[in-house]
Structure 1
Amino acid sequence: MRTAGLVLVVGLCVAANVVFSLKICAFNVQSFGESKANNKKVMGILMKILSRCDLCLIQEVRDSKGRAMQALVKELNRFDISNSYSYVESERLGRKSYKEQYVYIYRNNVLKVKEQYQYSKLEPEGTNDTEVFSREPFIIRFHSPTTLIKDLVLIGQHTSPKTALKEMDELYIVFREIYRKWKTENVMILGDLNAACSYVTIKGWRAVRLRSDPKFVWLIGDEHDTTVREKTHCAYDRIIVRGREIISTIVPGSAQPFNFKETFHLSEEEALEVSDHFPVEVDLKPNHRYLLRNEL
């Protein structure tokens, strides 16, 4: 009987690992606004993509009226009736007239927002007092009861191509500030960092502290392609983690771009109507005890 019971528990844990691991995504939806929100075909594909994720950082939201994101989340709740989605958005960010927002869409039944922080900092005196980031990072601290790690911080960032290396290096300072502010090392940096191809150089990489410090683990490697166009092969979009606890909870092999063009049998033209980027994603291991007690 003991053996049978053990086998049952192990089997349930394996099932929980498959079904209940937490999928975190980051997706540059390329100028998402009312035009895309009103395109039924594009929205249909976005529903399929976003419903795969428990938590997704959306970038390049360009909608001054705020209607597009409301429509997206409303449609997502209709599409995936087994879950309830909420979202938290940054202010509109940008140095001049061009503005973007970061938006985190998440499932209410598995995640709760504990704190949020819109980073803003000027360069040291003597450097013209210009901002380092074109769009400052938007940072959210989540409580995640269904995973082994209960407290995690996400630093969302979309760098400017021209200053990608400089902005990536500055994210090291952002991490240090978050560590002082919230006393946690379990941090995930994610988004379109423009971290590949013509926007980076070998010499430039050496100066990026996120890259040279071995405590930061780059889950999306240089060999990955996060671009939709067949003529490009660049790992622009990345997921980087720091902290022993969060690193130990990553499901091996789960970090990868999601090729929605191939998965949904789209032509390149059809896929580009959605975005010129693929989402990147990673899974976190579940808390089997919690799931066995509350879910199974």
Structure 2
Amino acid sequence: MRPASLLLLFFFVGVSDVYGGSDFRVCAFNLHNFGESKSKKADVMNILVKIITRCDVCLLQEVRDSKGKALPQLLDQIKRFDSRHEYRAVASERLGRTESYQEQYVFVYRADSAVLTDQYQYPDDLPGDVDAFSREPFVVRFRAPRTAIKEFVLIPQHTTPTNTTKELDALHDVLLRVMKMWRTKNVMLLGDFNADCGYLAKKNRKNVRLLTDTNLVWLIPEDTDTTVRSSTSCSYDHIVVHGDAFSRAVVPSSARAFDFQTEYGLTEEQALDVSDHYPVEVLLRVENPRASGGGPSRASSLQSVSLASSWIVGHLFLHTLTC
């Protein structure tokens, strides 16, 4: 490549850094039995890392890492794959009604764009609760200064298919408790709700407060297929936000299922090795892309680009005279 071309390449990479990368993405991904066995499959881990590092905050479900080795390995690969950001994770205790089957909720997040400010494990022994959940929500609160919402709470839930109606309705109790406890209305509920295909009967929908509360907005379109298998078409995974402020902070039409099979050119069999679910995601509006990273402001960055462009144009002009 000629020197002039190299200069142009470096310049446009710099411009891209100033203007691009401003999306703030929140994701929820059921990893389908993630543990030691899956962590030993290099091709699977490579795809998981690519998916998770697309997100500023990513909820992982069905983490069944009983020996405590698979999750640290995943985090290590994430950090090595994307060194531009500082990744951290916070995990619930192992949850489940039996010792033989337990899961963890895990939030992987970019510490340079989201700051964990609080966490709360919803109890399973509240008066009158009658142990509503198989896997009680592990609630977290983040500060994200560059987003329009600034601070928000995430309530995850992976419902038990045979108890979907009860658990989805009980999530409303969690919502009310968290809003009162932390004095906030900026709450997002997300995860594998199993809210379709026989697990949530139409006749039961009127009994689910998470569906009837008019202050809640279900962002993933109802006809979205969040399953990998071509033989199924079910909208299991969802993202729900509470209140007008959070709704306004969402980029319109950005909520979707991420089809990693198509994105990464996988066969159905290869995709199913990764998970039988697609992750769901949504973008939050960004007001100041540099607010939490300690980098230059947009104005100073643009000034730098202007000065750099003037230098490059002059250099290119001199270069053409000497060629």
The verdict on a shared fold, with TM-score over 0.5 as the criterion, is yes
> Partner residue of 2:37?
35
For 1:1-296, list aligned pairs within 5 A. Answer: 16=19, 19-97=21-99, 98-122=101-125, 124-125=127-128, 130-288=130-288, 291=291, 294=297, 296=301
1:132/1:170 contact within 8 Å kept: yes
Deviates more, 1:207-216 or 1:129-138: 129-138
Distance in 2, matches of 1:288 and 1:55, equals 18
Distance in 2, matches of 1:249 and 1:228, equals 29
CA shift, 1:48, in A, is 1.2
CA shift, 1:289, in A, is 7.6
Q: Deviations over 1:213-251 (max 9, x none)?
A: 111000012200000000100010000000222110100
1:122/1:132 contact within 8 Å kept: no
RMSD (CA atoms): 1.7
1:222/1:234 contact within 8 Å kept: no
- What is the identity, as a one-letter code, of the residue corresponding to 1:131? D
Runs of 4+ in 1 over 6 A off after TM superposition: none
> TM-score w.r.t. structure 2 length?
0.83
Distance in 1, matches of 2:33 and 2:124, equals 26
Distance in 2, matches of 1:80 and 1:271, equals 22
Distance in 2, matches of 1:289 and 1:42, equals 32
Distance in 1, matches of 2:297 and 2:146, equals 9
Q: Deviations over 1:38-94 (max 9, x none)?
A: 110001111111111111000000012211111001100000111110000000000
2:23/2:284 contact within 8 Å kept: yes
CA shift, 1:259, in A, is 0.3
> Partner residue of 1:9?
none
- What is the identity, as a one-letter code, of the residue corresponding to 2:91? E
Distance in 2, matches of 1:225 and 1:150, equals 31
- What is the identity, as a one-letter code, of the residue corresponding to 1:45? I
SS in 1 for 2:220: coil
Question: Are the structure 2 counterparts of residues 110 and 289 from structure 1 closer, same or farther at C-alpha, using a change threshold of 3 Å?
Answer: closer
> Partner residue of 2:312?
none
Percent same amino acid among aligned pairs? 47
- What is the identity, as a one-letter code, of the residue corresponding to 1:229? R
CA shift, 1:288, in A, is 3.0
2:29/2:279 contact within 8 Å kept: yes
Distance in 2, matches of 1:167 and 1:77, equals 35
SS in 2 for 1:99: strand
Distance in 2, matches of 1:144 and 1:28, equals 24
- What is the identity, as a one-letter code, of the residue corresponding to 1:186? N
Distance in 2, matches of 1:141 and 1:130, equals 26
> Partner residue of 1:4?
none
Distance in 2, matches of 1:290 and 1:37, equals 34
> Partner residue of 2:3?
none
SS in 2 for 1:143: strand
CA shift, 1:130, in A, is 3.5
Distance in 1, matches of 2:65 and 2:273, equals 17
Distance in 2, matches of 1:52 and 1:152, equals 20
CA shift, 1:158, in A, is 0.4
Q: Deviations over 1:182-216 (max 9, x none)?
A: 00000000000101111011111111111011110
CA shift, 1:19, in A, is 2.4
Distance in 1, matches of 2:123 and 2:289, equals 40
Q: How many residues align?
A: 279
CA shift, 1:281, in A, is 0.2
CA shift, 1:293, in A, is 5.5
> TM-score w.r.t. structure 1 length?
0.90
Distance in 2, matches of 1:148 and 1:165, equals 33
Distance in 2, matches of 1:293 and 1:149, equals 22
